[in-house]
Each structure stands twice: as C-alpha cells, then as structure tokens.
Amino acid sequence: MPTSVPLPSVRRLPVYLDLLRQRATAGEETIACTAIAGALGQDPTQVRKDLAITGVGGRPKIGYDLAELIAGIESFLGWNDCSQAFLAGAGNLGRALVGYAALRDAGLEIACAFDTDPIKQAETIGQIQVLPLRRLRTLARRMHIHVGIIAVPAAAAQNVAELMIDGGITAIWNFAPQRLEVPPEVVVEDADMLSGFAVLSHRLQHRLHPVAGR
C-alpha cells in the first residue's frame, strides 16, 4: 500500500502542516478543504487527494478536525517522534540548517556537527558542537543515530556517506551536488536545490501562475 502513495503529495504535506499548525495556534478547531486550498492557492480536489494519503478524512459541511489532521500528518511522516541527526559539514549551508527552526518542528534535532577543518572544530553553531569528522562513526554507533545530513562539498560526499553508513546511519539527506552510491537498505534523499529553481524558470519562461502541481 505505501508504494501507491504519490511522492508529490508527500512533498506537499509540510506546507499543509505549517498552515494547519498556524490555524490551530490561532484557536481554530476545524478547517474546510476549500479553505486550505484557498490559503495555499491550490486546487481543492488536489488538497483532498493529498490529505487522504494520511488516512484522515474531512466531514461534510464541517471539514477536517484540525488536531486530528495535524496528528495524522505528523504520524504519517513519523514527525511525532523526535529523531536525532548528525550533520556533516559546518560551512554556510550546515550552519543554515542548524539555524532552520522548521527542522525541529519536523521532529529532527541536529545532535552534533562534524567537519574536517580544525578551525571549525573549535566553534559551536548555536548550541551544537562541531567535532572532527573522524569521530562520526564511533559516536553515531554509541548514540544510536540513524539520520545523517550531508552538507559537504561534492568531492567529499561519498566518503562521508560511507562513514555514516559504517556508523549505522540508514537515512541520508544529501545536500551535496553528488549522487551517492549506497547499499540498498540505506535511504537517500537528494536535496536538489535546483529543482525549485527549475520550476521558477519554467513558470517565468511561460508565465504560469498557479502552482497546482508543485
């Protein structure tokens, strides 16, 4: 069953979640599908289809129960549990990720950062320590870390991925512009920063406005 879930719908879930949390914080208890669609400039049919993958449905005339829908999305994505992650690369991108508050809302806490640069190792990023890269494998095993974030230059990425996998990491979020070769049991998601720019360029070329199928 999970294989039939369309990944573009999965990609849109964080955007819904963000809106739903805002509405819940504002004291609202239910939300209509058309209200979600209106706020995000999306097609209501698409919204209903996207949200259906979480197993939570709306009721006629009332809409979705906000608390139920938020819990449904969080549970579908596994964002209700906090995962600790190791970050490799304490450069500008790594620092930006540590400072990115929305990661914590997604249940991801960066526990430590690693870098080969001794100057960076002397620093902290916010509350996060920067440790020598050679310590990553042993610490990942000891702390039972399963998520790794790669924010190193392309040439170093494969080596870092192998250190992570040796340390027991099974899910890698890869920001390096380098395709990784990993064993089949390891899950890799490439951040592909350019895919968003491709959509922007295409819409600019063709002057398309609504973003029905992000």
What element of type H or E holds 148?
Answer: strand 147-150
151 contacts 94 by C-beta, under 8 angstroms: yes
Q: Is 179 in the site for a second copy (CB under 8 A)?
A: yes
Could you tell me how many residues of this chain bind a second copy (CB under 8 A)?
A: 65
Q: Does 208 bind a second copy (CB under 8 A)?
A: yes
Closest CB to a second copy among residues 131, 186: 186
Task: Say how far apart CA 146 and CA 189 lie, in whole Å.
Answer: 14
Q: Which of residues 64-123 bind a second copy (CB under 8 A)?
A: 76-79, 91-93, 95-96, 99-103, 106-108
Q: Which tokens belong to 2? A: 């999970």
The piece of 30-38, 62-70, 115-123, 192-200 that touches a second copy (CB under 8 A) is 192-200
Q: Is 171 in the site for a second copy (CB under 8 A)?
A: yes
Query: C-alpha distances in angstroms, 84 versus 91, 127, 166, 211?
Result: 20, 14, 17, 33
CB of 172 to a second copy, least distance (A): 8
Helix axes 7-25, 44-52, angle to 10 degrees: 100
- In the numeric block, which tokens belong to residue 178? 């380098």
Q: What are phi and psi of 104, to 5 degrees?
A: -65, -35
Asked if residue 156 binds a second copy (CB under 8 A), the reply is no
Residues forming contacts to a second copy in the complex (CB under 8 A) are: 2-3, 5-8, 10-15, 18, 39-40, 76-79, 91-93, 95-96, 99-103, 106-108, 146-147, 170-171, 173, 177, 179, 184, 187, 189-209, 211, 213-214
